[in-house]
């Protein structure tokens, strides 16, 4: 099932082809996953989304690539995005996530969800010490 | 506002006192934040919640403590838990998160939320390559 | 803070007055909580919302009133609605929820959130035995 | 699709076998559903998750088993966990949920979601009477 | 997979038949989608749900039908409801949503999710100017 | 409470000043709301976020500005972002949302949330007719 038909020949559009080429070059692979194939229905949306993914996830910074993938995966789990959970689990493994790290990540996500719900249920007041203006 | 009154003198209960003592010893601080003060309404719930937090977050493992805090924070953001966002931002800073890392973390969380919603809106089919059984 | 000003004299509108009178009669109290005061900005929305609350929560059925309040509270926690958590905790207590039941309810909600996130993170396939058509 | 391969022969690991045996004994059935089969990838995570499920859901307390299942189901719905909705609907039926109760439960969950969103959209201020410290 | 079996011959129940007839007449089509077929398990729930959908979505008002469908779709995306995303995308197209509008809608939903998470992560204080009582 | 201190004199940074100037020019007002003041902690994040908001929300397109604000508000409600609900309610009113439209918008959001939860609870199978590839 899907709600948007990916174009049959997306790279016939030179803007789409340019993005796909950049994905292949940046990721050093020929594999273009379905998110990009579907986003090709609108070249502007494809371009801006890929530009942001490339800038945030692929450019050098102060967080290492695996940490960023695990954070991305954690948000995707909490937002219940099945596709995203699949793609970012695969990406985290490709960036070196070991089975032991995977298991620990699961334990952290599960615990966070648990205490998130407990705190909301009990409406715990924020400690003044946690206010950045304190 | 709150929905659960923390006990006036929680450490009068020896089970609560034991947990609070362990929190102080584990975290090397006298500060007991409100989550634990409120959970003290039920010693069993307090004990089991702290035991899990201690095991998952404080025990040595394959993920470093800052990475775990950032993942915890990311889940708390996606679950819209204001208290949790405050407490885990403070904890991440206490574990060394720099302003530059904080900014990058914000960018990753924001991007994940954006693509989570795009993917759900477009109902992108999972690539067979992402199936672990493939 | 609020995004909708409640009318200054809501019962000047006979449709609002009729709903408020019915709330007071149904709940056997003079207290009209803020949800209804705010909804009074639109008599039709107030009428239809109250009619549904009355029918689902106050009419006799096969679930007892306390069970329904606890389910309502659980959904409100998962949807991160602070007002709703406050109002339905108060309602559950008014309908007899004991501190021990409150603590158990917290434990069930927390556990559900934890396994919800674990299952989503691991994308556990639904067992054929759980398909109602099986 | 899945993101974690369940071990081919999980009970070859004595820690996994011990948990599976306890699940079978506690539930009085030979059926081990997929959640446990997948969690078997990490014996510690399997053990701690099952221990919590057993303690919260199977131990005697002040809430009856069916009420706890309906609360669990309600949270799972709000968190959009398809697997969890399937498994806890099946569990609620196994614990005696009648079709009439099922229909009422649906009506409560639906109404809660509706008013949760209304309240958030209107940013209704919490009534002072709902503050437990009042 | 499903958790509720739709009745085999739903229109044998005159209350269900009346709703189905009204759906066909209101929508000027013979197509009854699965939501209604499944809700037919409980005539009261079917009647009240359809009555609300008809009143809110089909009755004349101040918002045009396409705008309402796009809002409905946006909420369904944020709540991660795959069925709802499919059905309301189809409905929006049936009411005239063009591919260009679809692409813009995606961009607005994606941006909203992004800034929702940023704002929650940074716990931005509400500007006094945004308080309706200001 | 907040988790990020806005810079005391944000416009001392020329990159921040340039963004603030553009916000003022684009919106034809001197008012810079707190989101931008807080984002000023990181000029790059401020620039990229404002660029996207300007492009998606302020550039001419096929959806009118009020429709986009209502969609933005709807997503913000579903994601439980209190700040966002306040700011986008104010923005929608500034773009002409009447009280009657506001009330209808509330009714659509509330109904969508209700059926989202019903559909998830019942795990309604997607009708083949809703598959775009059909």
Gap between the Cα atoms of E54 and D94, Å rounded:
36
Nearest chain B Cα distance for residue C18, angstroms:
31
Question: Which residues in chain C are contacts of A78 at CB distance < 8 A?
Answer: 117
Length of chain F: 134
Same domain, yes or no: F82 and F108: yes
Gap between the Cα atoms of E42 and E6, Å rounded:
10
Residue B92's nearest CA partner among A66, F34, A112 is A112
| Residue B12 touches chain F, beta carbons under 8 Å | no
Residue B105 CA, chain-centre distance (Å), reads 15
Mean pLDDT for the stretch of residues F3-21: 96
Question: Which residues in chain B are contacts of E113 at CB distance < 8 A?
Answer: 113-114, 116-117
Task: Report the CATH number that the domain containing residue F47 is assigned in CATH.
Answer: 1.20.1290.10
Gap between the Cα atoms of C103 and C95, Å rounded:
16
* Each residue's pLDDT tens digit, B76-130: 999 999 999 999 999 999 999 999 999 999 999 999 999 999 999 999 999 999 9
* Each residue's pLDDT tens digit, A27-74: 999 999 999 999 999 999 999 999 999 999 999 999 999 999 999 999
In sign, the C-alpha dihedral spanning A11, A12, A16, A21 is positive
Nearest to B78 among E115, E117, E122 (CB): E117
Gap between the Cα atoms of F118 and F124, Å rounded:
9
Give a yes or no: residue E5 inside a domain.
no
| Residue C51 touches chain D, beta carbons under 8 Å | no
| Residue B45 touches chain E, beta carbons under 8 Å | no
Nearest chain A Cα distance for residue D123, angstroms:
16
Give a yes or no: residue C4 inside a domain.
no
Nearest chain D Cα distance for residue A14, angstroms:
33
- What is the predicted pLDDT for the residue at D33? 97
Same domain, yes or no: A79 and A54: no
| Residue E89 touches chain A, beta carbons under 8 Å | yes
Gap between the Cα atoms of A60 and A121, Å rounded:
40
- What is the predicted pLDDT for the residue at F36? 98
Nearest chain F Cα distance for residue B90, angstroms:
8
Joined together, the tokens standing for residue F54 give 């300007």
pTM: 0.98
Count of beta carbons in the 10 Å neighbourhood of residue F129? 12
| Residue E78 touches chain C, beta carbons under 8 Å | no
Give pLDDT tens digits along chain D (134 positions). 789 999 999 999 999 999 999 999 999 999 999 999 999 999 999 999 999 999 999 999 999 999 999 999 999 999 999 999 999 999 999 999 999 999 999 999 999 999 999 999 999 999 999 988 87
Same domain, yes or no: E51 and E29: yes
| Residue F48 touches chain E, beta carbons under 8 Å | no
Give a yes or no: residue D118 inside a domain.
yes
Helix segments in chain B, DSSP class H: 14-27, 34-39, 43-53, 65-78, 82-94, 99-122
Joined together, the tokens standing for residue A117 give 């719900």
Same domain, yes or no: E73 and E98: yes
Tell me if residue E16 falls in helix, strand or coil. Answer: helix
Tell me how many degrees the CA angle B107-F69-F35 measures, rounded to the nearest 5.
40
Give a yes or no: residue B130 inside a domain.
no
B:E CB pairs within 8 Å: 62
Contacts of B35 (CB under 8 A, 6+ apart): A115, A118, A119, A124, B83, B87
Joined together, the tokens standing for residue F59 give 């550039």
Cross-chain Cβ contact B1/D48 below 8 Å: no
Gap between the Cα atoms of F96 and F102, Å rounded:
10
Cross-chain Cβ contact B99/F41 below 8 Å: yes
Tell me how many degrees the CA angle F114-F120-F126 measures, rounded to the nearest 5.
110
Same domain, yes or no: A72 and A54: no
Burial of C75: CB neighbours in 10 Å, binned 0-12, 13-18, 19+: buried
| Residue B121 touches chain E, beta carbons under 8 Å | yes
Same domain, yes or no: F51 and F77: no
Tell me how many degrees the CA angle F32-F34-F40 measures, rounded to the nearest 5.
85
Cross-chain Cβ contact B45/C107 below 8 Å: yes
* Each residue's pLDDT tens digit, F68-92: 999 999 999 999 999 999 999 999 9
Joined together, the tokens standing for residue D104 give 């009422």
Interface test with D, best of F73, F92, F110 (most D CBs within 10 A): F110
| Residue E103 touches chain A, beta carbons under 8 Å | yes
- Cβ atoms of F34 and E124 within 8 Å: the answer is yes
The Cα-based distances of D7 to C5, D25, D38, D41, E64 in angstroms read 58, 22, 7, 6, 54
- What is the predicted pLDDT for the residue at A2? 83
Nearest chain A Cα distance for residue B85, angstroms:
9
Residue C119's nearest CA partner among D4, A90, B27 is D4
Mean pLDDT for the stretch of residues B55-81: 97
pLDDT under 70: residue ranges of chain E: none
Same domain, yes or no: E86 and E49: no
Question: Which residues in chain F are contacts of C41 at CB distance < 8 A?
Answer: 99, 103
Same domain, yes or no: D69 and D53: no
Nearest to F121 among D85, D111, D123 (CB): D85
Give a yes or no: residue D1 inside a domain.
no
Same domain, yes or no: D37 and D73: no
| Residue A134 touches chain F, beta carbons under 8 Å | no
Same domain, yes or no: A66 and A117: yes
Touching chains, E (3+ CB pairs < 8 A): A, B, C, D, F
Please, what is the angle between helix B43-53 and helix C99-122, to 10°? 20
Joined together, the tokens standing for residue D56 give 């919260």
Give a yes or no: residue A4 inside a domain.
no
* Each residue's pLDDT tens digit, B69-83: 999 999 999 999 999
Cross-chain Cβ contact B118/E111 below 8 Å: no
Q: What is the ipTM of this complex?
A: 0.97
Gap between the Cα atoms of B80 and F83, Å rounded:
12
Percent of chain F with pLDDT over 90: 95
* Each residue's pLDDT tens digit, A112-134: 999 999 999 999 999 999 998 87
Question: Which residues in chain C are contacts of A112 at CB distance < 8 A?
Answer: 117
Residue of D nearest to F72 (CA): D121
Gap between the Cα atoms of E112 and F77, Å rounded:
10
Interface test with A, best of D2, D3, D56, D75 (most A CBs within 10 A): D3
Per the structure, the count of domains in chain A is 2
* Each residue's pLDDT tens digit, F78-134: 999 999 999 999 999 999 999 999 999 999 999 999 999 999 999 999 999 999 887
- The alpha carbon torsion through A124, E123, F1, F87 (nearest 10 deg) reads -110
- What is the predicted pLDDT for the residue at C1? 74
Give a yes or no: residue A72 inside a domain.
yes
- Cβ atoms of D102 and C70 within 8 Å: the answer is no
Question: What's the whole-number average pLDDT of chain C?
Answer: 96
Gap between the Cα atoms of A94 and B129, Å rounded:
12
The single-letter DSSP state of residue A101 is H
The Cα-based distances of E118 to A9, A114, B112, E33, F4 in angstroms read 36, 22, 11, 37, 11
Gap between the Cα atoms of B26 and B46, Å rounded:
16
Same domain, yes or no: B31 and B49: yes
Concatenate the DSSP letters of all residues of chain F into one string: --SSPPPSSGGGSHHHHHHHHHHHHHHTSS---HHHHHHTTSHHHHHHHHHHHIIIIIS--SS-HHHHHHHHHHHHHHTT-HHHHHHHHHHHHHTT--HHHHHHHHHHHHHHHHHHHHHHHHTPPPPGGG-TT-
Residue of F nearest to B110 (CA): F49
Give the residue carrying structure tokens 């899945």: D2
Reported in sequence order, the residue ranges of chain A that DSSP labels E, i.e. its strands, are none
Domain ends where: E59, E76, E97?
Answer: E59
Percent of chain B with pLDDT over 90: 95
Gap between the Cα atoms of A72 and A90, Å rounded:
12
Same domain, yes or no: F101 and F53: no
Give a yes or no: residue E19 inside a domain.
yes
Q: Which domain holds residue B72?
A: 62-122
Please, what is the angle between helix B43-53 and helix A99-122, to 10°? 150
- Cβ atoms of F126 and E33 within 8 Å: the answer is no
Contacts of E34 (CB under 8 A, 6+ apart): E6, E83, F124, F125, F126, F127
Reported in sequence order, the residue ranges of chain C that DSSP labels E, i.e. its strands, are none
- What is the predicted pLDDT for the residue at E68? 98
| Residue C78 touches chain E, beta carbons under 8 Å | no
Nearest to B109 among E85, E109, E121 (CB): E121
The single-letter DSSP state of residue A109 is H
For each successive 10 residues of chain C (134 residues), what is the average pLDDT? 90 98 97 97 97 96 97 98 98 97 98 98 96 82
Nearest chain B Cα distance for residue D117, angstroms:
14
């Amino acid at each position: 099932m899907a709600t948007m038909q990916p174009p049959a020949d997306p790279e016939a559009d030179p803007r789409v082809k340019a993005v796909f080429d950049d994905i292949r070059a940046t990721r050093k692979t020929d594999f273009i996953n379905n998110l990009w194939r579907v986003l090709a229905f609108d070249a502007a949306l494809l371009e801006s989304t890929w530009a942001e993914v490339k800038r945030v996830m692929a450019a050098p910074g102060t967080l290492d690539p695996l940490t960023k993938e695990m954070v991305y995966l954690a948000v995707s789990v909490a937002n219940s995005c099945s596709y995203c959970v699949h793609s970012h689990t695969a990406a985290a493994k490709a960036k070196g996530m070991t089975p032991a790290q995977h298991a620990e990540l699961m334990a952290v996500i599960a615990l966070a969800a648990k205490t998130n719900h407990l705190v909301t249920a009990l409406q715990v007041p924020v400690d003044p010490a946690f206010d950045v203006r304190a």
